[in-house]
Amino acid sequence: MSPNTAPLPLSPSPDRPAGRNPGMALDLDWVEAVRVNRSAVERRCATLPTRRSVKKDWQAAWLLRAITCMDLTTLSGDDTPGRVRRLCAKARQPVRPEILEPLGFADRRLTVGAVCVYHEMVETACAALKGSGIPVAAVSTGFPAGLSPFDLKLREIEASVAAGAEEIDIVITRGHVLTGDWQALYAEVKAFRAAAGPAHVKAILGTGDLSTLRNVAKASLVAMMAGADFIKTSTGKEPVNATLPVALVMARAIRDYGERTGWKVGFKPAGGISTAKEALSYLFLMREELGPDWLRPELFRFGASSLLTDIERQLEHRVTGRYSAGYRHPMS
Amino acid sequence: MSVAEIFDNLEYGPAPEDAATAEAWLESHAAGFDLFIDGGWSASETGVRFETRCPADGCVLGEFSQAGEADIDRAVKAARRAQTGWRKLGGHGRARHLYALARLIQKHSRLFAVLESLDNGKTIRESRDIDIPLVARHFYHHAGWAQLMERELGEEEPLGVCGQIIPWNFPLLMLAWKVAPALAAGNTVVLKPAEFTSLTALLFAEICREAGLPAGVVNIVTGDGETGEAIVRHPDIDKLAFTGSTEVGRRIREITAGSGKSLTLELGGKSPFIVFDDADLDSAVEGVVDAIWFNQGQVCCAGSRLLAQEGIAEQFHTKLKRRMENLRIGHPLDKAVDIGALVDPVQRARIVSLVEAGVAEGATLWQADTPCPTDGCFYPPTLLTGVEPASVVAQEEIFGPVLVAMDFRTPEEAVALANNTRYGLAASVWTESINLALDVAPKLQAGVVWVNSTNLFDAACGFGGYRESGFGREGGLEGLRAYLKLRAEAGMKPYPPNKPARVEASGKRSKSAPEIDRTAKLYIGGKQARPDSGYSLPVSDPSGAVVAEVGAGNRKDIRNAVEAARKAAGWASVSGHARAQILYYIAENLSAREAEFARRIEVQTGAKPKHALEEVRTSIDRLFSYAAWADKFDGAVHSPPLRGVAMAMHEPLGILGIACPHEAPLLAFVSLMAPAVAMGCRVVMIPSERHPLCATDFYQVLDTSDLPGGVVNIVTGKRDELTEVLAGHDEVAGLWYVGGAEGSAMVERTSATNLKRTWVNNGLAREWFDPKQAEGPNFLRRATQVKNIWIPYGE
């Protein structure tokens, strides 16, 4: 795969979806030139949420946008078709109409960005979401550890795509990063992308396992060179999942990749983001570091299971002026 | 705008901080603020009031009183009355008060923050998250010093009454930096806040009352430069501390010359921000934001000169411009704003004219196309590229959100460009190589060096400048010491009236003159040198009979000596161990010629043989002391609240001029030379005019002791005339003077040109045989300055 010949302009009009990143040849010099200063990254992250604030209507609008960027997720051993159907119902109608109405959103069809499930639940989810336009994302390739046999991983991707998944959240082999085997990582992600065919590939780096921010930056670059449509922080199953510093490093890698190749790659922080306030911090980070294009579901997703409830409570507070309780909002 | 519209464009909206409490406080003071003197509020005797305005919208916030000379006198008297009791309260008693102040500042933290933003124009994020927390931290930290005072600083005592004049850029924080150490040490203060920004100081005064601080310990007097000058000139103030412009600092040095007042000055800067090609460039860009767009660039230590390595310079500028596009400018009380208002239209006008000058000189101006309010006192973040070191904007402190950019090729060139300035306050170094960072940091002429960071502050870490950025430190033990003096020096008595040496008009030679004429020469660059003038001066014994002649040095000899010292710069990086070896060797060689040196002292001074021998032996003892110290006067490693360390390094001042007294001609000479040499300074010694032969004999000792040429230079002649030349020499970093009060005044006044670190005795005689007065760390501290190198780390 060669570097792009006709890059998209960096700021296409908002209504045009970003083109798919075709990837490029592995450029090890670029990977090795990566520099990340952890303390400086942490200082930036400490002030990102304090440099920006959205209040009242602005807060409501930003939170509504966060909902549209949400991969509503269930990834539990006890998932059943019934549980997944409930999740899909919530995905179609994430906020009660009597809250949306006073916000002037009654006539807007507000949905989450996608529903994210294990392969076994893909068919159920597709059926439940039929006609909604909401894509189903399947976690794959031996999620969460990613240590299944390689050919099984490819077949898992193919099966999920065949079952209707439009997005595949693959996990990388963290060992390739820890041993610096960038060639192996590149080949792996590239093969996953090929197996996914038309389905978009979100490459989960498992940043909590990667030990250093420099590893995170290098793995991000390699995944993008291999053609990932999105890079994603975590499975949600690592001891540490999405953090602002990790997100900042990945966002800067996306910017760097975009500046050099012209291709826009999406970002998905996942795991541990459960409050509206945290969600806003990520949105600020995206807007400040990458620009408004990365505040749309085409280029940005939250992987979250409990975030939605907190956002609903904040929205109700905006409408009623009273603090809300979780039980007032339909569960997913 | 509807929620749906905002949803579509996702703009930021207004996020105002609630100012109601601050407005109510201002309303309650609508009648105007009085002066806070002796624990209460009183009207100024001038009766003059002046308005303070919010720079963001120009609205009047209140009226301050203009304190006149009589008011300052009342305040100083109140402080003087209070000082004894405050000192006697003891460390623990003072610690309780400082602790109470810290607590109250925290309790009222938001009111302080909002007032500060209204008055100064800085963003609420900065006043809320940076200024006020640092203020509380400073009082807590110094409550701790007060508690430990007797144990840790038992040899020292407070100076007395301190006059403190602070600037408008960090109003309450600068107050804290001044007041907390002064009070901890047992001093009382008369503080003048800046006339643009006195509100938080007046709220602080209210808090002092609330905390039950004894009356007179803190006095707050408002007013303009005239009020400041009244403080500077007040005869009963023991110490002055000033933060502000170099121009005013120099003027204060001149006014106070010879007054005996202690003085610390925190002045301007043009600090370099160095980005090497192996830096984390995105993080370095964020560093620039913190360096020059913090507080609208109105920061004395602002990283205002960007030095980027050529290979990455263009890429770095591109990244920087992209980042600048995202900086939001607006009302300081908006919580989503990066850049607030400049303090006053006068500052804005100055910035505009300097930027115009820069562009006229060929710089390329770049400003982001972001909205900038046009009705208040705002100026957009600005990048000037294509700037040469010779440009006005590369040399002058702009004190605004204007960054000038230059490139460099090698680390050596980066250091050379960084140091190509009269200032020396701070520097930032960005590289992922620890070798490079720790190699470059010590080479930068700056009191603070931030590695991969910028504008970090902490109460435990000293802050202050090299060169014309002022002298003295604030924060840390070194900052506290600026408010203390040695008990041992308290008993120093004035010199008896100076009697000129008698020289027989007949030129009669002393019987003790050597049979073969020995011509004492100057000693410059490790070589004996004839004086430029071609003249000699007679040296007489107490009867007036001529013992010998010495060279009559002149300005050119001083010039040559300083030049030789400049070339001996390598001495600063010789190891402490090696310096010790040379000092021991000097002692050894002096010891071998003990009798001869004792005899010289006898002949010149008429001292009894036993006493003369004692002087030589004490000199040898003293050389041993400083040889011992040479590898032991270590700095400190601070643990500020971050993952990292701040290394407080003791660095030699550089070239030091030393004018020696006539008493104890050998011992005083050695006592002054040895600590400077031990710390890595190069010295130009001006020996006693009356008894210079001990010094001229001494160069033969130096010659045989492996001391590199140029480290010690000796110029004999008319002492005070030569000293004045040294005081006016810009290459000389410090000047020690022991002699009469008039000479002390001359040294302080003349040294104002490049703001030398001076140490004068104000006509008080030191007991050279008493090691408590004439030896020890006090001398070493005078020969060094502290550089704090901040090193955050983490992979």
User: Do β-strands A230-232 and A266-268 pair in parallel, antiparallel, or remain unpaired?
Assistant: parallel
Is-contact B483 B178, C-beta < 8 A?
Answer: no
CA–CA distance, B722 with B726 (Å, rounded to integer): 6
Q: pLDDT of A150-171, one tens digit each?
A: 999 999 999 999 999 999 999 9
Q: Please name the fold of domain B20-267+479-486.
A: Aldehyde Dehydrogenase; Chain A, domain 1 (3.40.605)
Q: In what order do the strands lie in the sheet with A302-304?
A: A266-268, A230-232, A200-204, A167-171, A136-139, A114-117, A70-73, A302-304
How high is the pLDDT of residue B512?
74
pLDDT at A11 over 60: no
Q: Which residues of B touch A37 (CB under 8 A)?
A: 279-280, 283, 432, 452
Written as six digits, the tokens of B461 are: 């870490």
Is-contact A238 A208, C-beta < 8 A?
Answer: yes
Work out the pLDDT band at B36, boundaries 50, 70, 90: very high
Q: pLDDT of B607-661, one tens digit each?
A: 999 999 999 999 999 999 999 999 999 999 999 999 999 999 999 999 999 999 9
Length of chain B (residues): 795
Tell me the CATH number for domain B520-792.
3.40.605.10
CA distance A136 to chain B (A): 24
How high is the pLDDT of residue B519?
81
Q: How many helices (H) and strands (E) does chain A have?
A: 13, 8
Query: Which residues, including other chains, have CB under 8 Å from residue B86's CB and lie 6 or more apart?
Result: B94, B183, B186, B187, B188, B214, B217
Give the DSSP H/E element, type plus range, for residue B223.
none
CATH of the structural domain B271-464, one choice from 3.40.190.80, 3.40.309.10, 2.60.40.10, 3.40.50.1100: 3.40.309.10
Contact flag A36-B286 (C-beta cutoff 8 Å) = no
CA trace torsion B73, B470, B131, B178 (10° rounding): -30
For chain B, the C-alpha Rg in angstroms (whole number) is 28
pTM above 0.80, yes or no: yes
Beta strand spans in B531-643 (E): 536-540, 546-551, 636-638
Q: Is B300 a catalytic residue?
A: yes
Q: pLDDT of B283-300, one tens digit each?
A: 999 999 999 999 999 999
Burial label, A150 (beta-carbon count in 10 A; 0-12, 13-18, 19+): middle
How high is the pLDDT of residue B509?
81
Work out the pLDDT band at A4, boundaries 50, 70, 90: very low
CA distance A78 to chain B (A): 36
Nearest to B336 among A35, A53, A292 (CB): A53
Is-contact B529 B522, C-beta < 8 A?
Answer: yes
Nearest to A103 among B3, B286, B453 (CB): B3
Q: pLDDT of B431-468, one tens digit each?
A: 999 999 999 999 999 999 999 999 999 999 999 999 99
Q: Phi and psi of A172, rounded to 5°?
A: -85, 165
DSSP, collapsed to helix, strand or coil, labels residue B104 as: helix
Q: Is A232 a catalytic residue?
A: yes
Work out the pLDDT band at A61, boundaries 50, 70, 90: very high
Which residue on chain A is closest to B332 by alpha carbon? A51
Q: pLDDT of A128-145, one tens digit each?
A: 999 999 999 999 999 999
Q: Is B293 left (phi over 0), alpha (psi -120 to 50) or beta?
A: alpha
**Residues B648, B649, B653, B654, CA torsion sign:** negative
CA distance A123 to chain B (A): 32
Cα A40 to Cα A47, B638, B648, distances in angstroms = 11, 19, 21
Work out the pLDDT band at A18, boundaries 50, 70, 90: low
How high is the pLDDT of residue B344?
96
Say what the ipTM of the complex is: 0.95
For chain A, the C-alpha Rg in angstroms (whole number) is 19
Is-contact B531 B550, C-beta < 8 A?
Answer: no
Query: Which residues, including other chains, have CB under 8 Å from residue B353's CB and lie 6 or more apart?
Result: none
The CATH 3.40.309.10 portion of chain B extends over 271-464
CA distance A161 to chain B (A): 32
Which residues of B lie inside 8 Å of A (Cβ-Cβ)?
A: 1-4, 6-7, 9-16, 125, 129, 278-284, 286-287, 290, 326, 335-336, 338, 432, 452-453, 642-644, 792-795
Burial label, B46 (beta-carbon count in 10 A; 0-12, 13-18, 19+): middle
Is-contact A122 A160, C-beta < 8 A?
Answer: yes
pLDDT at A110 over 80: yes
Q: Which residues of B touch A54 (CB under 8 A)?
A: 12-13, 15, 336
How high is the pLDDT of residue A1?
30
In the block, residue with structure tokens 């959205």: A54
Neighbours of B632 (CB within 10 A): 11
Q: Which residues of A touch B290 (CB under 8 A)?
A: 43
**For residues A60-88, average pLDDT:** 97
The CATH 3.40.605.10 portion of chain B extends over 20-267+479-486, 520-792
pLDDT at A16 over 60: no
What type of residue is B481? R
Q: Phi and psi of A231, rounded to 5°?
A: -115, 140
- Please report the domains of chain A, with CATH numbers, ordered by start residue: 28-321 (3.20.20.70)
Catalytic residue among B162, B300, B660, B694: B300
Query: Which residues, including other chains, have CB under 8 Å from residue B736's CB and lie 6 or more apart?
Result: B656, B657, B658, B659, B672, B676, B758, B759, B760, B782
DSSP conformation class of B131? I
Q: pLDDT of B249-261, one tens digit each?
A: 999 999 999 999 9
